[in-house]
Every structure is written in C-alpha cells, then in structure tokens.
C-alpha cells in the first residue's frame, strides 16, 4: 500500500527537472485524484468495518 501511495504522490515524470515543469498539465487533477482516492479508501474502510462487526 505504501509504494502505491508513494507512486501517487511522486509520479515518475518522463523528463525530470530540478525546478519541476512550469507547464504541468495535470497538477490540479493529480491532487483531485489523490483526494478522490483517499475518500474512496475511507468509505471502503468504513464499509468493511461495519460489515465485519
């Protein structure tokens, strides 16, 4: 789980530059997808928690 989260937070860019690409097309969408992933994870955990009890 941790390597997957690390890969989501630090994706490998084809041309890594020290300052980062100034015209990153999916900067906001990456944050959006990370947020959606966390929300889905929380809902999945709650569903599992209440189903097991």
Direct distance between the N- and C-terminal alpha carbons of the chain, in angstroms, rounded to an integer: 24
**Where along the chain do its domains lie?**
24-53
Q: Looking at residue 52, what is its pLDDT?
A: 87
Q: Looking at residue 25, what is its pLDDT?
A: 55
Q: Report CA 41 to chain centroid distance, whole Å.
A: 11
Q: Looking at residue 30, what is its pLDDT?
A: 76
User: Could you tell me which of 37, 28, 42, 40 has the C-alpha nearest to residue 7?
Assistant: 37
Q: Looking at residue 27, what is its pLDDT?
A: 57
pLDDT tens-digit readout, 8-53: 666 565 545 455 555 555 556 778 888 999 999 999 999 999 988 7
């Amino acid at each position: 789980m941790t390597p997957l989260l690390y890969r989501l937070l630090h994706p490998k860019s084809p041309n890594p530059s020290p300052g980062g690409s100034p015209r990153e097309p999916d900067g906001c969408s990456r944050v959006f997808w990370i947020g959606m992933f966390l929300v889905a994870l929380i809902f999945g955990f709650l569903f599992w928690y209440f189903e097991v009890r």
